């Protein structure tokens, strides 16, 4: 019998804009720029949301929460993550762990990594040691004006 586990993968990017708050993984980071976008621009929560949705073959974040819908303007991205978790539990699965990589020139994620891990774990209802948060600078990519997030999730039949 095959083990009833699934993986999901998500990717997102948002452009830095001056003078707006920066939120990554639901945590406010001190920076001169924030991430633009129709919701709060939380690139990490969006990548995690798409990873969860992908794991249960649900429609993606853009289909469920269209940027054209004024309802989602400035929305807290935790709402999107919550809906994705509902889809996962509705399909009979629970989250085992997640891993992620942020690609951004600034700010440095290191000082915030523990807080990010803790907060994302709380949002997902899993332990902080089941949340990977890694960060890289975009060497040679020419994407210093943007933040990018990659995320993978593992879910298992509950």
Q: Pick the piece of the chain touching Zn ion (CB under 5 A) from 46-54, 105-113, 117-125, 130-138.
A: 46-54
How near is the Cβ of 61 to Zn ion at its closest, in Å? 7
- Give the bridge partners for 8, in sequence order: 153
Cis peptide before 68 (omega within 30 of 0): no
Per CB under 5 A, the segment of 19-27, 39-47, 117-125, 150-158 that binds Zn ion is 39-47
Report if residue 50 touches Zn ion, rule: CB under 5 A.
no
Contacts of 111 (CB under 8 A, 6+ apart): none
By CB under 5 A, tell whether 46 contacts Zn ion: yes
Looking at residue 13, the DSSP 8-state letter turns out to be E
Do residues 5 and 96 make contact, with C-beta atoms less than 8 angstroms apart? yes
- Nearest CA to 117 out of 103, 128, 106 is that of 128
For the CB of residue 79, give the shortest distance to Zn ion in the complex, in Å: 13
Query: Does residue 150 interact with Zn ion by CB under 5 A?
Result: no
Cβ distance to Zn ion smaller for residue 12 or 88? 12
Q: Does the footprint of Zn ion cover residue 40 (CB under 5 A)?
A: no
Report the residue number, 14 or 93, with the smaller CB distance to Zn ion: 14
End-to-end Cα separation, the chain, in angstroms: 16
Report the SS3 class of residue 70. Answer: helix
Binds Zn ion (CB under 5 A): choice among 8, 10, 12, 124: 12
Instruction: Give residues in contact with Zn ion (CB under 5 A).
Output: 12, 46
């Amino acid at each position: 019998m095959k083990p009833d586990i699934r993986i999901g993968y998500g990717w997102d990017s948002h452009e830095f804009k001056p003078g707006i708050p920066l939120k990554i993984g639901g945590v406010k980071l001190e920076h001169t720029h924030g991430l633009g976008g129709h919701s709060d621009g939380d690139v990490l929560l969006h990548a995690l949301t798409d990873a969860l949705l992908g794991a249960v073959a649900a429609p993606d974040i853009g289909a469920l929460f269209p940027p054209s819908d004024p309802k989602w303007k400035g929305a807290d991205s935790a709402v999107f993550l919550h809906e994705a978790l509902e889809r996962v539990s509705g399909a009979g699965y629970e989250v085992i762990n997640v891993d992620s990589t942020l690609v951004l020139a600034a700010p440095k994620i290191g000082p915030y990594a523990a807080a990010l891990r803790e907060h994302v774990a709380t949002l997902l209802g899993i332990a902080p040691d089941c949340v990977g948060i890694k960060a890289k600078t975009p060497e040679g990519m020419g994407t210093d004006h943007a933040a990018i997030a990659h995320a993978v999730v593992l879910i298992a039949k509950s």
